[in-house]
Structure 1
Amino acid sequence: MERKISLSHMAFYRGWLNGLSLREVADLYLETGLDLSRARSTLLWIQDTLCQAVLRHGRHGEAHLLRLRLFDRRGGAYTSGAVPTIEDFRAQLDPGELWSDDELQVRYRKAYPHALERRWLRRAALLARQAATLTWLEQWLVTAPTLADPLAAWLDASLVAYLAKARLTTVGDLKALMVNRGYHWYAAVPALGRVKAARLVQWVQGFAGSWGSLPATVLNPPRAIPAGAAQRLLALVAGSTGALTIAPLEVFVVPRRVPDPSGVTPLIDATDDRGAVTAWLYARAGSTQAHRAYRKEAERLLLWAHLECGRGFGQLTEEDAAAYRDFLLGLGRTRTAAWPFRISQSDWCAPRHTSRQHARWRPFDGPMTPQSVVYALSVVRILFAWLAAVAYVPRDPWATLAAPTAQFGPSPYSKHARMVSVAAWEGLQAGVAGMSSPGRERAEAMLWLAVVTGLGQVDLATATTDRLYTVQDQDGGTRWMLKVPGRKAVSLPDGVMQRLTAWWESAGLATDPAVLPSGFPLIGRLDSRQRHIPLTPTGVSLLMKRLFTIGRAACRRAGDFDGAGLLAKASVHWVRRTTGGVSAEASALLFQIQQLLGLSIATTPNDAAPWQNFPGEDSAVENIAQQKRAWERCFPSAPFRVEEREEE
């Protein structure tokens, strides 16, 4: 398809003719940015297209003129508009006409030494003619894109190839993806990347006058949405009627709590269910990861109770609790005609990763597995047990609810599921050992820090030097400790610290944590300028996935296809489970594994992730038989031991 000329192309070519470097004009006007090879090919294409256009009108002189770069770095661009005529010069500096003609000529030549030179005047005339030709071409050659136009008509072929992988063919498809997915829309386009995505957003935003401006959720990261965006979102999704509608917890408006007829005053200041959920999250969610997980399940129940049942938490009954269990089990699996609830299944679901700031956000992204339903109900049980304890609700309707028994196929979990085997771990280390420096040192530091401490991806991303400290050993030596928010400090053996210092040294940093700046990340990454910047939790997950891919290849070379299969499915959480498994095989006590990994039996289903089913100190029920069954399912070779923890 023939590519079309836009205003940005004309500005790009005009800036290059007027003396700007190719890098400068490409960065200003092209969607390919600082890719100079694409900029050169675009420059030649624009030049050929403009010359062919004037040749079709018989203007052969202009065709040659458009290829001339008249800018002279020694004498400027020879623009006649910057040099006044001699009459204007007299009117400006000698309005009383006190100078003679000879004196005026001398002063004029001194101020503008090239103004009367024949060569300078000729270049100025050619430049003016060149500018006039470009303006004439712009009037009839340049058109504005429409949403129905193919992307190949406006964008560089390299970008079109990326977008085609996501089945984006028109300009409207591209804008719709941005609007629907928000700031991280480019995650739906394989290998596009953040830099190219930002260029495309800038290109689309350049036509805001004809297409409409992109929303703030596309232009800003989720955590940098301007103040007041939540209120604007609420107005967008609820309209002017004020009726309840599906919306995120932070903007969902619920009626005030109905007072308890018995006159009992709650121990919290919440005036509605949203405030009660917020107070519970503040009291019980000890980490950012737990806060998100708890909020998701409480948010789902809150929306269902008010929108489907029309009742608040205090009015829910045992029948409502059973109905919510059936709602979770049947969502996305029930035929439309057999769906027993008022709100349709499709209204509860939206594509995964839809931004919470977007009007199309929904609390579900599709059917839930039975294990996910069990987990969701366990979180709801904890919520209502706490609400009953603080007298916000008169009774707990979930206390007598039976766990769901429906199964949609065999459970994917086994005794040693989601754990890295010894052979797979050796293959992973062998693959990492073949990497080049400094990537090898960083990978070894990440793997050893993760498997020794059992930290999750959030804690690994936020681990910094100001959380390191030393303690005295009984034998007189010292050892390093790492403070983890919401948990007790974890010990860092010498092997971990040696690999951390080796990573810092390979990155050109100091090897003493005390010398490094406060808040310096233990595991970061080097940017293009060799600056050490922290990883995000998603960055930690992607790094571990990349290391598992390297380890999988090493396992295949060694003939260990079972280990390669494990690493193909592994994640950061598998490393945590491996840490617990190693501790169990070493006959660690129950509370020691719990402290190491920060686990609780109350929020993990028994059949879903058995080795997480060990009770926290705040568990409502201490069921030793349940603990023993969970332990034996995961660690059949290790003895089950429960001992009282000594008071410190």
Structure 2
Amino acid sequence: MAERPSGSAHPVALERGYTTKDFTALRAYVQRIPPAVIARTYYDPDDDPHAATPGVMERHLNRMLDTLVQLALAHGSTALADYLRASIRQHGQPKLTAVTFRMVAEAAQLAAAPPHPDHPIGAWLRPRVARRLKGEGIGTLGELVAFCNRRGASWWRSMPRIGRGRARAIVSWLRRQQTALGLTVNADVDSVEQDGVPLVAAERVEVVPDLDSSGHLTERLTGRLTLAPLERLAVPHALSGADGENRSTAFCYIQAQHDLDAVRAYLNRYRDQPKTLRAYTRELERFLLWAVVLRGKALSDLRVDDCEAYKDFLKSPDPRFVGERFARTSPRWRPFALSTSEAGGSASLSTESQRYAVRLLRSAFAWLVDVRYLAGNPWTAVNDPPVIRRRNTMKIERALPADLWRRLRDELDVRCADERAAPWRDSRNGVQWRAVRAAILLMGDSGLRREEAASARREDLAPSVYGTLERPVWELTIVGKGQRERTVPVSAATLTALRAHWADRAKDSEDAVAGEAPDVVPQGPLLAPVIIPWTEASRRRHRQGREGGVGDFNPGVDAGYTADGLNRLIGRMLKILIETMEALSLDERVRLGQANAHAFRHTFGTQSVANEVPVDVVQKVLGHASLQTTTIYVQAERKRVLEEVAGYYARLAMEPAKR
């Protein structure tokens, strides 16, 4: 039998250890035999610590009884479960007779058996934990192991209120039951036993061609390949390109002994452009891994037919190159990432993405020719994949309509109210709502991209010389897409929201909004998290000692949001609004559900044009390089277009009748 731990610090899984003697003692306890008599009759205090005193004995029996009742609720008959629940509601604990105790013991016989993959998780895990796992579609122990193995070390992150400690306890128990389950928990799934041990070795991972037993490249699409990202990648000397057929014989301008050196030298040009560097790295490592593993060639050995083959590969990548998103340090990392719902399928790229990859590779090879690492560029003879030119690639339909945009702003103001005026509000939530309001208004009133909002600085926000005392105007200078600097106006509502957010960050914001130039210009990011997640990555980013505990903020170290972090925060708080905001229609909840951080930039574009702001002004604020891009916002509603054209057709049809 098993004991269900009561404290959250204990393992979550049930440990089976009750004996026949325990059952006999518990039956006596149900029949009102005093714990002191039970301890003296059935146990030896020297061998059984839980029989040392009557109090300890009673606590042990109560824990055992609770375990049996929980198992009976999960596996007993409906009538027994109803009886137990009614007894608990009435007395605070189950009141059992000799008959009902026998029924409970019989219903809990599953506990005498070892865990099995088909056992429901509710029989082995605490009810609250089981409910959260069931929310992810996990019903049995086998499904739990498969879920952990599929997701890796961070399998628990999508589940509410299952943190790293509880997740480690679950995995530790699963590892102890591997023999009974007949299942193996993969090595990179984090557990207590692995605390402090790197999940992935720091050394390079050598990838080799996928060969069959006869030494030829295989065409099978089964089995797991050894793959690694560019920073951890190593290849055999024969495929390194050190003696590549396409290597230039002229003096080379870069210190590159092989293809990996040359690729890294090319990427080093973009070290100050993190988004570009990330995209270029992704495409080049995909191509390099394909060449070595599936083509069996070095980059400097590739010819036109190889490049054509890779262009075809992009239409439908090998399933072994495809997987869910994992950290680049994980052995589960794959070059092509799928969403969770697509796991196990293929990852065919859009035609736009295929063309992007081909053009990038052509450009990279051209640079390698220019620096005299390669003698020629085989990609020059490869045509771009055909792409349908779409009339509108921007998803401006995500922009919020004027009425919903106004109501959203009003709701944010209410949720950001001072806790002293609304003591029922959670101050921790208030801090998050004020950060979200500042971010949403900054993008919705000034048309910023999420990257621009995340990188905006306080020292770049200042009163404009074009403002007056009656109508002050503020402006923010940012560096936007393409490293182009621009200045955008900032609304009074946004300033108010920023001021409240700065106050939460323990900053003196009075001098920044008083309308006069301060003696010392405040420094730091415009938006920054006040509540820092207790994770290694967050601590490393914000460089905090965290002496005050989880959630404390060190005003001396003020690191801003990342663009992805800001997007996640907005998405999380919008989800709460969808569920709790009153007087929203179903269509409006759908619109909010489709919104993301970028939707508020589109909201500015559509609302400003609708309110007759000149298109060229909107272009300058949004930072569009072409006025044609901005005119996308200047569209008649489809209904109005159809009505006007239908009217024209009707008038045209009446012309002959008049004659």
TM-score (structure 1 length as normaliser): 0.60
Change (3 A) 1:548 1:631: same
Which of 271, 274, 288 aligns to 2:274? It is 288
The whole-number CA distance in structure 2 between the counterparts of 1:574 and 1:473 is 27
Structure 1 residues not aligned, in runs of 5+: 13-24, 33-41, 69-78, 82-122, 332-344, 598-610, 615-626, 638-648
The whole-number CA distance in structure 2 between the counterparts of 1:442 and 1:312 is 50
Which of 319, 323, 348 aligns to 2:321? It is 348
**Pairing 1:261-300 to 2, within 5 Å after superposition:** 262-284=248-270, 286-300=272-286
1:310 and 2:331 correspond: no
Change (3 A) 1:376 1:489: same
Q: Which moved more, 1:126-135 or 1:375-384?
A: 126-135
| Partner of residue 509, structure 2 | 511
| Partner of residue 650, structure 2 | none
Kept after mapping to 2: 8 A contact 1:445/1:523:
no
Cα offset, 1:155, TM superposition: 0.4
Change (3 A) 1:58 1:231: same
| Partner of residue 165, structure 2 | 198
Change (3 A) 1:328 1:541: same
- The higher-RCO structure (CA 8 Å, 6+ apart) is 1
Cα offset, 1:29, TM superposition: 1.1
Cα offset, 1:405, TM superposition: 2.4
Which of 432, 436, 443 aligns to 1:443? It is 436
**Pairing 1:159-558 to 2, within 5 Å after superposition:** 159-187=129-157, 191-195=159-163, 198-206=165-173, 208-209=175-176, 211=178, 215-216=187-188, 218=190, 226=198, 229-231=201-203, 245-254=226-235, 255-257=239-241, 258=244, 262-284=248-270, 286-331=272-317, 345-350=318-323, 352-364=324-336, 365=338, 366-405=347-386, 413=393, 416=396, 419=399, 425-437=405-417, 438=430, 439-451=432-444, 456-457=449-450, 460-461=453-454, 468-469=459-460, 481=477, 487=483, 491=487, 493=490, 495=492, 496-505=494-503, 510-511=508-509, 522-526=527-531, 531-532=552-553, 535=561, 537-546=563-572, 548=574, 557=583
- Report the AA paired with residue 120 of structure 2: P
SS of residue in 1 equivalent to 2:436: helix
Change (3 A) 1:133 1:578: closer
The whole-number CA distance in structure 1 between the counterparts of 2:584 and 2:62 is 65
The whole-number CA distance in structure 1 between the counterparts of 2:268 and 2:33 is 72
SS of residue in 1 equivalent to 2:331: coil
- Report the AA paired with residue 281 of structure 1: L
The whole-number CA distance in structure 2 between the counterparts of 1:59 and 1:474 is 84
Change (3 A) 1:124 1:363: closer
Kept after mapping to 1: 8 A contact 2:256/2:262:
yes
SS of residue in 1 equivalent to 2:379: coil
Cα offset, 1:557, TM superposition: 4.9
Please list the CA deviations of residues 252-297 of structure 1 after superposition, one character each: whole Å capped at 9, or x if unmatched: 3233322756512332223333333323332125443333222222
Identity of aligned residues (%): 22
Kept after mapping to 2: 8 A contact 1:585/1:635:
no
The whole-number CA distance in structure 2 between the counterparts of 1:30 and 1:217 is 17
- Report the AA paired with residue 346 of structure 1: P
SS of residue in 2 equivalent to 1:587: helix
SS of residue in 1 equivalent to 2:234: coil
SS of residue in 2 equivalent to 1:264: coil
The whole-number CA distance in structure 2 between the counterparts of 1:202 and 1:517 is 45
* Aligned residues: CA RMSD: 5.5
Please list the CA deviations of residues 540-560 of structure 1 after superposition, one character each: whole Å capped at 9, or x if unmatched: 223322455577799995879
The whole-number CA distance in structure 2 between the counterparts of 1:50 and 1:455 is 71
Cα offset, 1:194, TM superposition: 4.4
Change (3 A) 1:285 1:59: same
Cα offset, 1:417, TM superposition: 5.3
Change (3 A) 1:548 1:56: closer
The whole-number CA distance in structure 2 between the counterparts of 1:411 and 1:53 is 79
Cα offset, 1:237, TM superposition: 12
Change (3 A) 1:462 1:632: closer
- Find the structure with the greater CA-based Rg: 1
The whole-number CA distance in structure 2 between the counterparts of 1:168 and 1:348 is 26
Kept after mapping to 2: 8 A contact 1:354/1:360:
yes
Change (3 A) 1:267 1:423: farther
Please list the CA deviations of residues 356-399 of structure 1 after superposition, one character each: whole Å capped at 9, or x if unmatched: 34434322232222233233334334433433333333333334
Cα offset, 1:132, TM superposition: 11
**Pairing 1:17-56 to 2, within 5 Å after superposition:** 26-31=7-12, 52-56=23-27
Kept after mapping to 1: 8 A contact 2:574/2:592:
yes
Cα offset, 1:151, TM superposition: 1.6
Please list the CA deviations of residues 176-207 of structure 1 after superposition, one character each: whole Å capped at 9, or x if unmatched: 3223212321245xx43442x53032232246
Change (3 A) 1:389 1:166: same
Cα offset, 1:53, TM superposition: 4.7
Kept after mapping to 2: 8 A contact 1:428/1:552:
no
SS of residue in 2 equivalent to 1:31: coil
| Partner of residue 74, structure 2 | none
TM-score (structure 2 length as normaliser): 0.59
1:573 and 2:605 correspond: no
Change (3 A) 1:442 1:487: same
The alignment of Structure 1 onto Structure 2 pairs a total of residues equal to 500
Which of 591, 616, 636 aligns to 1:587? It is 616
